[in-house]
C-alpha cells in the first residue's frame, strides 16, 4: 500500500513539477549558507596560514591557528572540501608568498601582517552576518587571536 501511494505521489510529481526552489533558508540562528561558507573559507585560510606561521619563531601564532582549526572543524556538517585552494583570497597566504617568505625575513613579516589584517577584515564581515551562536563564538575567538597577535608583533 505504501509503495502504491509512493508510486502515485511520484507520478503526480512528474506530471506537475513543483515550482523551482532555492535551498530552504536557514532557521533563524541556524547553521546556514553563510555559516557554512565562512567555516569552509576559514579552514582553507588557516590551513594555508599554518604553513606561513611555521616559518616564524612565534609559537602562539601556530597554536592559535591550530586551536581555530579544531573549533572550525567541529562546526562542519559535511566532509570538508577546499573550494579556495590556489586562490588569491583575503588573508590566505599563497604558495608563492610562502616560498618567498621562506627566504626573506622581511617578506615573512609582511605576509604575516597581511594575513592577520586581511583575515581580520573578513572576520568583521562575518561578525555582522553570522547569527548561528556556536559559529559566532568561533568568529569572536579568531578576532581576539588576531587582535592580540597584531599587538604583539
Partner 1 sequence: MKKLFHLATVLALAAGVLSIPVAAQGEPVRVAEFLAECPISHRLPDDPIVLPNLPGASHSHDFFGNHSTDARSTQQSLEGQTGNCNPVADISSYWVPTLYRNNTAIAPTGVTFYYLGEGVNNPAAIQPMPYGLKIVAGNAKATGDADSIARWSCLHAGHVNPSKNFVECPSGTMLETYLDFPQCWNGRDLDSSDHKSHLSYPVAGGCPSTHPVAVPKLRMVLRYPVSGSPAGLRLASGTGQTMHGDFFNVWPRSEMERRVRNCINVVLKCDHAGNHG
Residue 62, classed as helix, strand or coil, is helix
Among residues 82 and 109, whose Cβ is nearest to partner 1? 82
Over the window 32 to 61, marking each residue x when it contacts partner 1 by CB under 8 A and - when it does not, the resulting string is -xx--xx--x--------------------
Could you tell me the three cell numbers for 17?
A: 513539477
18 binds partner 1 (CB under 8 A): yes
Distances (CA, A) of 99 to 24, 93, 96, 104: 43, 10, 5, 9
Using the rule CB under 8 A, give the single segment among 3-11, 66-74, 103-111, 117-125 that binds partner 1.
Answer: 117-125
Q: Could you tell me the smallest distance in angstroms from the CB atom of residue 97 to partner 1?
A: 12
Burial state string for 93-126 with b = 16 or more CB within 10 A and e = fewer than 16:
beeebbebbeeeeebbeebbebbbebbbebbeeb
Residues engaged in binding partner 1 (CB under 8 A): 17-18, 20-23, 33-34, 37-38, 41, 78, 81-90, 121-122, 125-126, 129
Amino acid at each position: 500500500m505504501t509503495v502504491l501511494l509512493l508510486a502515485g505521489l511520484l507520478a503526480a510529481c512528474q506530471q506537475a513539477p513543483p515550482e523551482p526552489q532555492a535551498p530552504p533558508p536557514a532557521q533563524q540562528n541556524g547553521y546556514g549558507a553563510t555559516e557554512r561558507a565562512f567555516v569552509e573559507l576559514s579552514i582553507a585560510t588557516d590551513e594555508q596560514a599554518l604553513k606561513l606561521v611555521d616559518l616564524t619563531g612565534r609559537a602562539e601564532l601556530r597554536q592559535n591557528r591550530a586551536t581555530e582549526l579544531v573549533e572550525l572543524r567541529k562546526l562542519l556538517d559535511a566532509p570538508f572540501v577546499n573550494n579556495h585552494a590556489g586562490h588569491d583570497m583575503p588573508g590566505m597566504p599563497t604558495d608563492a608568498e610562502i616560498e618567498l617568505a621562506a627566504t626573506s625575513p622581511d617578506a615573512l613579516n609582511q605576509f604575516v601582517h597581511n594575513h592577520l589584517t586581511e583575515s581580520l577584515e573578513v572576520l568583521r564581515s562575518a561578525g555582522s552576518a553570522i547569527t548561528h551562536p556556536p559559529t559566532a563564538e568561533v568568529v569572536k575567538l579568531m578576532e581576539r587571536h588576531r587582535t592580540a597577535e597584531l599587538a604583539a608583533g
